A and B are shown apart, each in its own frame.
Chain A
Amino acid sequence: MLGSKLPGKVIQNINSTFVGGGVAEILNRMVPLLGQLGVDARWDVIKGDTDFFQVTKKFHNALHGRQETITKADFEIFKETTEKNLKEMELKGDIIYVHDPQPAGLIARKSKSGKKWIWRCHIDVSHPNEEVWRFLEPFVVQYDSAVFSAPAFSRELPIRQFLISPSIDPLSDKNKELPQETIDSVMEKYGIPKDKPIITQVSRFDYLKDPVGVIEAFEMVRKSINCRLVLAGGTASDDPESEKVLTEVNERAGDNPDIHVLLVPPNSDIEINALQRASTIILQKSLREGFGLTVSEALWKAKPVVASAVGGIPLQVKNKLTGLLSHGIAGTAFALRQLLTNPDYAKWLGQNGKEHIRYNFLITRHLRDYLLLFISLEHPGDIIHL
């Protein structure tokens, strides 16, 4: 019904990669679904070389609040690539939906296009490196609207800002129900015995996911409770830092037989699904987080979750209702112990978590938010009568 309110409109999504990372994952699902609702949604990516993506990775980290040295040359590389894309990118949409900072500079073509522009920020910009934010802000304020994944990411801006949480697709390989044989075969493949409770963190090997902190929290728990840790993750084409982090994690894990560090190749969604389903507790000890879709995935599987209160995680984990929030390594270890020693409580949290995801973080809600966002571009009020 909402789709019918956008007759003939073309929505052009633009980001930096077709594969790897949460944005590509969302668009892979969202674009065809919008099409099925009668909305002409398209998806293009900007072009960039390795230098450009190294700069945008630095921007990404800096916007997340990590200490990064950004040079003038970095800004120049960004501008040059943006210029190239400004010339090459064909703007086919009535609504141009730009995802993340990499293609943000395309807004320079707004004045000529007469189209509506939305900037979708998927990352945690609650404590950004001011230099990078000041560089990006002039682009951002030219958009008609901005969209963030968590309230803390918003800033006082002269444009409308909306909160749209990401979502998961319950029918995707990563979230669908799996037969026990599949789960068992994946555990066997990765050599993970099911002889004791398994704590799992699934995320890209990234400093901001604090994999080393996860190992430290696990070691604190392991002193009193016999359990295993699985750290499973992959890499993204726009993240050149992953390999380095993986090496550090392997070094920190050493030869502890209860710690399993798994480099899961891209498109291993069923394996990730199986690992999550085989786990006793899912952990997401991020230092910064955009939204944290792995938390939604875990909750959807009715798993008890321990997660850092950062980014969009508190939207998903209501402390002591749908999971446990932590603020540090010791707190994480404490929460893990609580759940391991109280399985009924853990089960109750997991079930609540699943219902919370059902009502608020499935792709159907996300689709609706997108449609409402597009509709809101034409309706400035707080109450819109269709």
Chain B
Amino acid sequence: MGTAINWILANWSALLVPVAVFLFVLLIVLLLRRRIYEALDRWLSRSGWKGNRILLRAFRVPSLLWCFIAALYVGLTVSALPLVWKALIGNGLGTIFVLSLSIAIFRFGSGLILIYGEKYQIPWHGIVVTRNIARIVILIVTVLALLDIWGIRTSTAVLLIGVVILAAALAFRDALSNLLAGSQLGTTKKIRAGDYIKLDTGEEGSVVEVKWDTTLIKAPNESLIIIPNSRLLRQTIINYGHLLKKAKEPFRFNSRAHMTELTGLRARNLRELRNILKTASDATIFFHTHHFLQEHHFLTPEPSNDLAVWVTDALGDQVLGERLASVDTFEFTTLESLKERMVSILDEYLATEAPLREAMEGREFYFMKSISVIFALPDVVTDLREFVAALSRISTSSLYFHIFEARLRLGKGLNDFSIWLRDSLGEEELAEEIARHDPYTYTLEGLRSSLIRLVEKRIQ
């Protein structure tokens, strides 16, 4: 200690100038820093940019340090120290500057990643990974800069780092592509938690979470589908948006199996046909107005009631056959009223007292009954999206039951779908649209497609 004091006392005149220069420069750069900070603060505050506080906070201490470094460097330059000492101290100051700059940039970058990660709803894992990547890049650049300051050749190091980065990129290429896809999904907001999506590969469901590498989807059957983000981005995605209104009561899909019961009753002419028809049960009327549709639903959308076919083919009466065929089943809401209409047509014809034609032996009209066995399916839906998904997978028997059987056979006067949409979901307009839809003019698959289109249109 005494030696140092003695040295200073002996060389005070040689120290005076560098110290004075140091203090003067320090004062100047501190004042300059303060002005810059105040101006920057005002400007950033006006801009409303969320990163201003982070920027100012990140550079507050390092910038103070840089003022000292700048003043010391100028003082060092005018000092009488040997060149070797000057170079050594200059490298030391450069090292401190680079390290402090790296820390400032890292803090600022981390803050920005956090702000924009939250803004674009990037999953937390994605934010952490992005921050770590930024940290590694800054570290590498810092190390290279320090090596350069101390005069160490960096070309080998750069090559080595390049090889390591390449190897890491190859090893984690899937993870990287998923990460980038995840970031893209987050920033573009194409898919968010709660959205209901449908992929062109058939998977569909509600998005539970968009993670940094995968997206979790809850399928209508409650199973969890995990899709890598990179795969998700390569697909065509239908996004139906957020969860829809939930029904007061869920819709429970049923199906029906059908048996044909024979009555043993047969008609040979129109009078016998009319007399038996007059007392026929609903099960008989339903059978003879619907079984062609059920058996030949793949073939033709044209509805055909058995009476019309028999009168035309077996009795050869084209005119009466056409009258019976033109009875629009869709107009009637009860089987009894449908029967009355058929009977009235036959009565009108019989009143003309035209000669009765007899069917050939074996071509008589055989009265039959439809026996329906109704059973519940596991499909239960609570909103339109679940409803349309179920519509696409239920059997044609289930569709047939809810559209045709429920309306006429069970005497509801309206199809089950419309009743549920109106009463439980409050979708009066859609319910009305489906109710107006004449199902007798479609094949069953055609009807299914048409209903799906209507509901999907409503969802969108």
Give the interface of A toward B (CB within 8 A).
1-2, 126-127, 148, 151-152, 154-157, 160-164, 309-310, 318-319, 321, 352, 355-356, 358-360, 368-369, 372-373, 375-376, 379, 382-386
Contact = CB atoms under 8 A, between A and B. Distances in A.
B262 A373 contact: no
Given A151-B366, A356-B299, A383 B409 contact: yes
Interface string B246-284: 000000000001111111111000000000000001110
Contact of A154 (B264, B282, B375): B264
B368 A382 contact: no
A163 B261 contact: yes
Q: Which of A148, A321, A375, A386 has the most CB of B within 10 A?
A: A386
Interface string B281-300: 11100000000000111110
A355 B444 CA distance: 14
14 contacts: A151-B262, A151-B366, A152-B362, A152-B366, A157-B264, A162-B259, A162-B260, A321-B299, A356-B299, A369-B259, A383-B283, A384-B371, A386-B373, A386-B375
A22 B153 CA distance: 94
A175 B361 CA distance: 34
Given A154-B262, A157-B264, A161-B261, A309 B375 contact: no
Contacts of A384: 371-374
Nearest to A355: B298
A134 to B, nearest CB: 16
B294 to A, nearest CB: 9
A363 B191 CA distance: 46
A168 B141 CA distance: 77
Return the 5 tightest CB-CB contacts between A and B, nearest first.
A154-B262, A151-B366, A156-B264, A163-B260, A382-B283
A318 B296 contact: yes
B259 A373 contact: yes
Nearest to A360: B295
B375 A1 contact: yes
Contacts of A164: 259-260
Contact of B373 (A152, A160, A372): A372
B415 interface: no
Q: Which of A360, A373, A385 has the most CB of B within 10 A?
A: A385
Contacts of B374: 383-386
A148 B363 CA distance: 17
A123 to B, nearest CB: 15
Contacts of B258: 372
B364 interface: yes
A161 B262 contact: yes
Contacts of A160: 261
B366 A154 contact: yes
Interface residues of B, number: 34
A358 B296 CA distance: 11
A373 B257 CA distance: 11
Interface majority SS (helix, strand, loop, mixed), chain B: strand
B362 A126 contact: yes
B281 A382 contact: yes
Contact of B262 (A2, A162, A376): A162
Interface of B: 257-266, 281-283, 295-299, 313, 361-364, 366, 368-375, 409-410
Contacts of B266: 152
B368 to A, nearest CB: 6
A382 B372 contact: yes
B262 A148 contact: yes
A277 to B, nearest CB: 23
A162 B264 contact: no
Contact of B372 (A148, A355, A358, A383): A383
A375 B262 contact: no
Given A382-B371, A384-B374, A162 B296 contact: no
Nearest to B368: A151
B313 to A, nearest CB: 8
Given A1-B375, A386-B374, A359 B261 contact: no
Contacts of A379: 373
A383 B281 contact: no
B257 A372 contact: yes
B369 A382 contact: yes
Nearest to A372: B259
Contact of B282 (A155, A352, A375, A382): A382
Contacts of A368: 257
Contacts of A373: 259
Given A321-B296, A368-B257, A379-B373, 14 more contacts: A2-B257, A151-B368, A152-B364, A152-B366, A321-B299, A356-B296, A372-B259, A372-B371, A376-B373, A382-B282, A382-B283, A383-B409, A384-B372, A384-B374
A358 to B, nearest CB: 8
Nearest to B360: A327
A140 to B, nearest CB: 12
Of B260, B265, B363, B370, most buried by chain A (CB within 10 Å of CB) is B260
B268 to A, nearest CB: 12
B376 to A, nearest CB: 8
A358 B281 CA distance: 30
Nearest to A358: B298
B247 to A, nearest CB: 22
A162 B258 CA distance: 11
Contacts of A375: 373
A162 B261 contact: yes
Contacts of A155: 264
A368 B395 CA distance: 15
A224 B452 CA distance: 53
B326 to A, nearest CB: 20
Nearest to A371: B257
A163 B368 contact: yes
Contacts of B313: 319
Contacts of A148: 262
B362 A382 contact: no
A122 B361 CA distance: 20
Nearest to A368: B257
Contact of B295 (A359, A383, A386): A359
Contacts of A154: 262-264, 366
Contacts of A382: 261, 281-283, 369-372
B404 to A, nearest CB: 14
Contacts of B370: 382
A4 to B, nearest CB: 10
Contacts of B264: 154-157, 161
A368 B257 CA distance: 8
A360 B313 CA distance: 23
Nearest to B259: A372
A310 B262 CA distance: 18
Contacts of A321: 296, 299
Contacts of A162: 259-262, 371
Contacts of B368: 151, 163
A356 B299 CA distance: 8
A157 B375 CA distance: 30
Contacts of A376: 259, 371, 373
